[in-house]
Each structure stands twice: as C-alpha cells, then as structure tokens.
DNA sequence: TTTTGTATTATCGATACATATAAATCACTT
DNA sequence: AAGTGATTTATATGTATCGATAATACAAAA
C-alpha cells in the first residue's frame, strides 16, 4: 500500500466537493426524502431542515444545491427548493455520497482491530502509515474513538485501544454488565418512559417480529437492538448509565465487523418478543416485571450450550 | 488579555520546567515517597518506576532530577537516586508542582459552568479568550471532557456541555450510578473477595476510623475511599464494572478540586464504619447484607437534609 | 411577516516548520 | 548480569498562517 502523499482519490473516494458536515447532512437527508416526507413538487424548506439538524442554513443549502445538480430537487428563483423526484435508492448512497474520511478510517480501524491486524496499542504515525491517510484524519478519528470509549491516550506516547469482545470471557462479562446496568436503570426512581419513543420502539420491534427473516439486514437488526437498549436506559435520566450502554454498543458494533452474525430465525423472534414484553411492562409501569424480563433476556445460559461459541445473539 | 505569544509564566503558572507528563509523574511519585515506600538512604530505581507507570525512563529521571534539586533525593554517579528526606507535605504539592495546564483549565471550566459564568454552548475561541490559554490546551481539555461524557462537539461549530454539569444533578446521578454498579458487582455470581486485599482494606479503614480528624488529609481520605470502592468492585471479576468505577473515581477526583470537600467528623466516621461493615459482611459471605449496606451508603438522602448542598461526603 | 438569496464575519481545519520530549539504544559502571 | 547514564531516534507539541466553511446578518422577494 502506498503510504506517502496519498490523496483520497487514490482510494476511490470522490467527495464530490462536499465537506464532512455536508456529507453527513446529505446522508441524513436522502433517506428522509426517500421515505416520502415531501410529495413531488412540494417545497423543501432549508431553514426548517437547518433547525431540525441543529446547524446553520449554509451547509443545508449546499447539500440541496448538490441534490439539485443530480436532479433530485429543483431550485427556483426566490421560491426555494422543491422535490423533483426521490433520490436514487439507498444502496447507491455510498457511491453518490461516499462516507467521510473519518467514517472510513473509523471502520477500517475497527475492522483491523477486530481481526487482530493491529495490536492494542499504536502511535498516530503507525496508523497514519498503515492506512495511508493524513495525520488530521487519524487524529480526528482517534478523538472520536476516544469519545466512544474505544481508545484512549496513553501517558507519554501513543494510543491504547479498548480490548474487543473477542473472547468468551469478555462477552460474558459484557452481558453481565449490561444486565446490571439495564435492570438498575429500569428500577431507578428517576426512570420515566417517553410515550412517543416507546411507541416508536414498539412499532420497530413489531416490524422485526413479523418481517420475513430474509428481508432483515444484519446491521439493521443490530442497530434496532442497540437503539432499543439505549433508549430504555435513557429513560433512567442518568447520563452515566446511558454512557455505559453507548460504550457497550460501540464495543459490540466493533465485534460485529469481525463476525457476520448470521441471524437465526429463533433468535431474532425471541429477542423481538422479549423486547415487546419489556416495553409492555414499562408501559403499564410494572418495572419489576420489566427488569425481570430484561435480566433473563440478558442472561446467557451458563453452559453456553444453545449459543454458537463467540456468536452474539442480541 | 494578551492572546498572542502568551507563556505559562504570564498566568502565574510556573511549571518549574516540567512537562505535563512529568508533572503527572511528580504528583504521583511524591505521595508514594511520603507514604514511606523507601527508607531514607534507600535507592529509588528509575527503571522500576517507569515500568510501574507504564512509560519510559526519560520522564521519570527528569522528575527525579527535579526532586534532587529540591533536596528530596540525591543522585550519585553510577549509583542512581537515593532518598534523602521525604518531600514537603502534600499541601505544598500544588505550589511545588502546579497542576498541568489541562488540569487547570478543566477545573476552571467546571467551575465556570457550575456558576453559570459560561453557557451550555461555547466555541473554542470563546474559551480560549475567556480563560486566556492556548488553542491546544483548550482543544485537549475539551477532548478530555468529551471522553468523560461532559462535553460533546456540536455538528458544525462549537461544543455543547453536558446538560447540567451544574454539580447537584451530576453528583446525584453519579451516586445512583455507583449504587447500581457496586451493588450489582457484589451480587454477581463471579464475585470472589481476595482475603489479603480485604484485610488491607480493613486495616486502612480502621485507621481512618480511629485517627484524629485533624491528621487526616483530604486527598488521603479521598484516595482511601476510591481504593475501597474500586477494590470491592474488582472482586466481581468483571472488567466493565471495574472500568466504570475507575472512570467514576477519576471524575470525582477532578470535581473534588472544584468544591473543597471539608471533612466533617461525623461524615468521616460514618463512612469508615460503613466500609468496615461492608467488608465484614463480605468476609462472612453475606453478600445480600453487603449490598444493602452499600446501597444505603451510596444513597443520598432524598431531601439532602443532612448534607451540605453540593458537598461531597464520600 | 415570513421566507429566500446573498454578503459578511467568525470559526475551524489543514499545513508546515521549529521545538520539546518521550522512547529506544548503547556503552559503561557496579 | 543488572542497573545507570548518555546518546540517538521517534514522536508529539506549539505556533503561525492560510484557506475552507459554517454561522450570522442583511436585503429582497413572496
């Protein structure tokens, strides 16, 4: 691999002139359009979107102008943007709007870590040469990893990566940890479910329960689960509990890169049923029941008999 | 305020020529010497210390040379360093070895936030000018805050601080979190106390129970507590539980500086008694009892009646 | 009055170079 | 052989500047 003077283009990345924030916006916006929030011909307000995303109008307008170039929207003088036709299907998104450099490197590092290609410690320069990116990208990626608890600066020089959930022991500990955190969260005095969010989760889990297995993407399944657990814990209104679950999700996401968890019919349905039962219990404010189901849900059978070794079910 | 070409000295910081890593080492090393690990005249091995701290010999030697300058140790040709006399009492530590710029700014930001001097959102430049430090320091401090979940980058520009870094709320959440973690740890199947460590803790806590209040250093008290809780959780044999408590301890170590936890006779004795009762229960393997005492120990009275607002008792 | 388009300003990111300093190596003493 | 001191090398930091771009302010149109 060429490690010197590498430009993004060499790696097939053509950012199409969009900045990283703009890329982020584009990748958020396109699915929204796809799901039909606006009818064809309807006006799309840049100011509203800016407010929704919590940023200024400038990057939003730039993305809309980009979408105008590819014919998704049209800009009329003094009348703003209107939808012409929904953007090309989501699968092309990566091609149309490639992930930012940081996103890419983030994935590469996670992948390399999960497969043992890089050790638990590394200096910036090492990574820089190994992946052939710029120092800044490496730096920002590491900062992001550290914000998620997946890496931390060592005293002196270099970075240390979190160990991955790469062995039976670590996975078991992770489950035990989550059981403690999540059951504790549900039983907190300050726990208070948000009805809207609860309903959204119910819809999502019901869909997972009924959809044909073949139509469920592995990553979609993972993210739905992660969202379920994180949302439930967030109702505890305790930032440290939430932070812990986020970290766990990040760790689990990382191992997901290594193994392509094949979904088993039984596992998926069981998990979705559990999730729905938990939501139901929360909805009727039977927190003890919710906690009990959660505990069982997160308890691995001690022998690990029913579970393929090293596989992550939920 | 002059923001260009500013040197630490202009702000009253005299780092004594020590780098941030060296400062850290010095502040770790001096208490170790104080507790009498080495007798006067005994040799202090730089290599061993470097190994212990997980860094190279270079910064350790520089610190030792600094300690030689102030007469704590002596360097003899080809015979390394030997202890001459324990370093000046801990209270002078800040004066002798001022905290690093990042440490300082960290505390300043926490303090400013807690007192409403800065809002929940701020740009780097704002902080930079407000506190009169360098860009790099601001950056690294923010990164650290974000790693601890107390701040996060906003999309676009600027940073957002955690909702209420105003301490009351955060401290309550911290207590609730620790109660969940520690009680969960004690009740784990894999929990197994190490007799030696248990005995050591008992000795330490007994000493705290009986010592005259005036003789108890605030920081020593804090560290003993931190050690107690971390050790108990470590017996759960769950790396994630241990990690969580470590993080909590380091967070508390920082906030402790912001508020000057004055020790109250009643508080100190009560805590030490609680700790001893917990150890006793663990020793007889009555884990339910241990967990119950722990829970009460970590529960703040809801009205907060007995506790000075914003004070950290344990 | 609200929304849109444009101009201005503020902030951050990228880069480069000089400096500081931590790590690694090696020779020497004990 | 182990530990120490000095040297070399690698790495990170500090500072400054420039350019990109996000935020904001403002003018014009609906």
Output the DSSP codes for B63-75.
HHHHHHHTTSEEE
**Contact present, A223 and A231 (Cβ < 8 Å):** no
Which residues of chain A neighbour B56 with C-beta distances below 8 Å? 156
* Boundary (domain end) residue, out of B76, B96, B116: B96
pLDDT of residue A236 exceeding 90, the answer is yes
C-alpha span between A298 and B203 (Å, rounded):
38
* pLDDT score, position B90: 56
Q: Given strand A151-153, what is the order of strands in its sheet?
A: A121-122, A159-161, A151-153
Q: Distance (Å, rounded) from C-alpha B207 to C-alpha B201?
A: 10
Which residues have a Cβ under 8 Å from the Cβ of B207 and sit 6 or more positions away?
A: none
CB of A228 closer than 8 Å to CB of A290: no
Q: Using the 3D structure, point to which of A139, A161, A183 is the last residue of a domain.
A: A161
Q: Which secondary structure element, helix H or strand E, spans residue B151, and what is its range?
A: strand B151-153
pLDDT in tens, B58-78: 999 999 999 998 889 999 988
Identify which of B75, B25, B80 has the alpha carbon closest to the alpha carbon of residue B53: B25
Q: What is the pLDDT of residue B263?
A: 65
A155 touches chain B (CB under 8 A): yes
Across the interface, which of B21, B155, B241 has its CB nearest the CB of A53? Answer: B155
Question: Any idea what the Cα angle at residue B35 is, between residues B31 and B36, rounded to 5°?
Answer: 120
Whole-number pLDDT of residue B12: 35
**DSSP secondary structure of B81-114:** EEE-SPPSPGGGHHHHSPPPHHHHHHHHHHHHHH
- CB count within 10 Å of CB A128 equals 20
Residues of chain A with C-beta less than 8 angstroms from the C-beta of B55: 155-156
CA-based diameter of chain A, in Å? Answer: 68
Flag whether A224 is in a domain.
Answer: yes
Interface test with B, best of A141, A172, A238 (most B CBs within 10 A): A238
Q: In this structure, are A129 and A238 located in the same domain?
A: no
Tell whether B124 is covered by a domain. yes
Contact B84, B40 (CB under 8 A): yes
Structure tokens at B150: 């107390």
Strand D contact at CB of residue A203, distance < 7 A: no
**Does the residue A177 lie in any domain?**
yes
- Contacts of B83-86 with CB under 8 Å at 24 or more apart are B83/B33, B83/B38, B83/B39, B83/B40, B83/B41, B83/B42, B83/B44, B84/B40, B85/B40, B86/B33, B86/B34, B86/B36, B86/B40
Question: Domain for residue A306, yes or no?
Answer: no
Question: Looking at the structure, do residues A71 and A131 belong to the same domain, yes or no?
Answer: no
Nucleic strand C under 7 Å from the C-beta of A58: yes
- For the CA of A135 and the C1' of C14, the distance in angstroms is 10
Residue with structure tokens 């520089």?
B62
> Contacts from A307-312 at CB under 8 Å and sequence distance 24+?
A309/A168, A310/A167, A310/A168, A310/A171, A310/A259, A311/A259, A311/A261, A312/A165, A312/A171, A312/A252, A312/A255, A312/A256, A312/A259, A312/A261
Determine if residue A237 is left, alpha or beta; phi over 0 gives left, psi from -120 to 50 gives alpha, anything else beta: left
| Cα torsion angle, B291, B292, B296, B299, sign | positive
In a domain, A144, yes or no: yes
The gap between B163 CA and C10 C1' (Å) is 25
Count the domains in chain A: 3
pLDDT tens, position by position, B119-144: 788 888 888 888 888 888 888 888 88
Give the three-class secondary structure for B181: helix
Q: Which residue has the higher pLDDT, B11 or B239?
A: B239
Q: Are residues B180 and B127 in the same domain?
A: no
Q: Are residues B198 and B274 in the same domain?
A: yes
Residues A198 and A293 occupy one common structural domain: yes
Give the highest mean pLDDT range of A10-19, A187-196, A259-268, B134-143: A187-196
CB-based contacts of B5, cutoff 8 Å, min separation 6: none
Q: Is the CB of A3 under 7 A from strand D?
A: no
> What residues of chain B lie within 8 A of the CB of A155, using their CB?
21, 24, 53-55
Q: Is it the case that residue A59 has pLDDT exceeding 80?
A: yes
Span A222-239, average pLDDT: 93
Residue partners of B235: CB distance under 8 A and separation at least 6: B185, B191, B192, B193, B194, B197, B282
Give yes or no: residues B71 and B194 share one domain: no
Q: What is the pLDDT of residue A20?
A: 84
Range among A154-158, A310-314, B79-83 with highest mean pLDDT value: B79-83
Q: What is the DSSP code (8-state) at residue B115?
A: T
Average pLDDT (A119-129) is 82
Tell me the average pLDDT of chain B: 81
Residue A86 placed within a domain: yes
Dihedral (CA of B121, B127, B129, B134) sign: negative
CA dihedral B184, B187, B189, B193 (to 10 degrees): 100
Mean pLDDT (whole number) for B200-208? 93
Which residue is listed with tokens 């520690």?
Answer: B182
Do the domain assignments include residue A308? no
CATH value at residue A82: 1.10.10.10
Q: Within this chain, do residues A51 and A78 fall inside the same structural domain, yes or no? A: yes
Whether residues B171 and B132 fall in one domain: no
Q: Does B14 have pLDDT greater than 50?
A: no
d(CA B194, CA B283): 10
Q: pLDDT above 90 covers what percent of chain B?
A: 34
Q: Which whole-number Å values give the CA distances from A139 to A107, A122, A126, B114, in the listed order?
A: 15, 12, 12, 30
Q: Where are the beta strands (DSSP E) in A87-133?
A: 121-122
**What CATH number did the domain enclosing A236 receive?**
1.20.120.530
Cβ atoms of A21 and A59 within 8 Å: the answer is yes
Is residue A146 located within the same domain as residue A245?
Answer: no
Residue B313 lies in a domain: no
List, for residues A27-58, the tens digit of each pLDDT value.
889 888 888 889 999 999 999 999 998 899 99
Work out the angle between the directed axes of helices A168-187 and B239-258 (0-180°, nearest 10). 50
Quote the domain boundaries for residue B214. Answer: 167-298
Structure tokens, B94: 């800040």
Q: Are A248 and A267 in contact (CB under 8 A)?
A: no
pLDDT at A279: 97
A284 and A180 in a common domain: yes
Examine the domain organization and report whether A106 and A87 are in the same domain. no
> Mind listing the pLDDT tens digit for each residue in B265-286?
888 889 999 999 999 999 999 9
Does one domain contain both B56 and B146?
Answer: no
């Amino acid at each position: 691999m060429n490690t010197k003077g590498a430009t993004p283009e060499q790696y097939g990345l053509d950012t199409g002139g969009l900045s990283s924030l703009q890329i982020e916006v584009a990748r958020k916006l396109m699915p929204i359009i796809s799901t039909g929030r606006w009818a064809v011909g309807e006006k799309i307000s840049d100011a509203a979107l800016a407010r929704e995303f919590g940023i200024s109008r400038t990057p939003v307008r730039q993305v809309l102008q980009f979408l105008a170039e590819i014919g998704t929207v049209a800009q009329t003088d003094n009348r703003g943007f209107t939808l012409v036709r929904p953007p090309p299907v989501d699968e092309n998104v990566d091609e149309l709007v490639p992930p930012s450099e940081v996103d890419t490197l983030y994935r590469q590092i996670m992948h390399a870590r999960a497969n043992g290609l890089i050790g638990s410690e590394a200096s910036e320069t090492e990574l820089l040469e190994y992946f052939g990116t710029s120092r800044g990208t490496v730096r920002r990626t590491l900062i992001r990893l550290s914000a998620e608890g997946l890496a931390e600066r060592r005293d002196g020089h270099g970075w240390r990566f979190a160990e991955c959930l790469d062995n039976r022991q670590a996975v078991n500990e992770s489950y035990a940890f989550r059981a403690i955190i999540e059951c504790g969260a549900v039983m907190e005095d300050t726990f208070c479910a948000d009805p809207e969010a609860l309903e959204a989760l119910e819809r999502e889990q019901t869909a997972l329960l009924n959809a044909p297995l073949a139509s469920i993407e592995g990553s979609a399944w993972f993210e739905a689960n992660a969202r379920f657990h994180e949302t439930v814990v967030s109702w505890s209104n305790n930032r440290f509990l939430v932070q812990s679950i986020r970290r766990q999700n990040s760790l689990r996401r990382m191992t997901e890169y290594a193994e392509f968890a094949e979904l088993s019919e039984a596992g998926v349905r069981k998990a979705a049923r559990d999730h729905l039962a938990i939501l139901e219990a929360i909805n009727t404010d039977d927190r003890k029941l919710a906690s009990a189901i959660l505990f069982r849900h997160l308890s691995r059978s001690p022998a690990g008999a029913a579970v393929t070794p090293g596989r992550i079910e939920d």
